[in-house]
Structure 1
Amino acid sequence: MANRLSGYSGTPLVKKLGIKSGYKLRILNEPESYIDLIKELPEEVYFIEGADIPVDFIHYFALKTRELEKDLPLLLDQLEQKGMIWISWPKKAAKRKTDLDGNAVRKIGIKHGLVDIKVCSVNEVWSGLKFVIPLKDRK
């Protein structure tokens, strides 16, 4: 069971994603099973729903290029300078209707001034790329 929930590797998803104690999280468009995938959260992690409080961690699930292009600048305005944004898209094997893949997600992130630093399998359906603001661009 743990392997299925952690994307096959045996490493808990929370560890793969880099969620740490004290983080403020914003999760968007998540699949129903997501909360089960991250149930091993550290203490003092806060889920923030409104866009008015900057967060350390955003996980955004995308199906369409157009939506990701539209939403990413808004998400970046909500991200702490040292924060991270994970963008997930359905794997080809999942047979979900999408026009995204890892290359498309990477290009969109780079276009918006981010650098991708990690990739992971979220579960059987979703892959993810971790983006951060480059050190030289942090305020």
Structure 2
Amino acid sequence: MSDKSIAQRLFIKPDNKVLLVNPPDGYLTQMGDLPAGAIILSDSSCLVEVIQVFVADRAELETQLPRLKELLAPKGMIWVTYHKGTSRVKTDINRDTINAYAHSIGLEGVAMISIDDDWSALRLKLIQG
């Protein structure tokens, strides 16, 4: 596991607006300290720089991702956080299926991180051009 906090690994910068969707209990504490001026939102009607969504399955991914894409600032990022294959929780999604679906709606996967023993996250950005 990385020496960096989750907030650092998510590339949260000073003054970023961060939208968290469906985080597990205790996750805010687990994230670590945020940079100066960064704020966590549980709902947003404005554009945000960082979105982290926790999804359990493909149906949830397909419900959440198009809606969240509309809230993403032009140079922002969406972290789709999903159960690892080694997790005790079974799921029908993985890095490849998330990336394929994301690409079909104008997003592309650019990086991955491990959140903890149960969760991985795939960073998506808007496809330019």
TM > 0.5 fold call: yes
The structure in which a higher percent of residues are helix is 1
Which residue number corresponds to residue 120 of structure 1? 113
Query: How big is the shift at 1:58?
Result: 0.3
Instruction: Write out aligned runs for 1:68-83 (5 A).
Output: 68-83=61-76
CA contact (8 A) 2:114 2:121 kept: yes
Residue correspondences, number: 129
Equivalences for 1:17-96 in 2 at 5 Å? Answer: 17-96=10-89
Aligned-partner Cα distance in 2 for 1:71–1:34: 19
Percentage of identical aligned residues? 27
**By percentage of residues, which structure has more strand?**
2
From the superposition, tell whether residues 47 and 11 of structure 1 become closer, same or farther in structure 2 (CA, over 3 Å): closer
- Long gaps (5+) in structure 1: 1-7
Q: Matches of 1:117 and 1:83 in 2, distance apart?
A: 12
Q: Secondary structure at the match of 1:106?
A: helix
Contact 2:15 2:39 in 1 (8 A): yes
TM-score between the two structures when normalised by the length of structure 1:
0.87
| Partner deviation per Cα, 1:9-67 (whole Å, 9 max, x = no partner) | 22221121100001001001111131122222111012233331111110000011011
Spell out the pairing of 1:97-112 with structure 2 (5 A cutoff).
97-112=90-105
Name stretches of at least 5 consecutive residues in structure 2 with no aligned partner: none
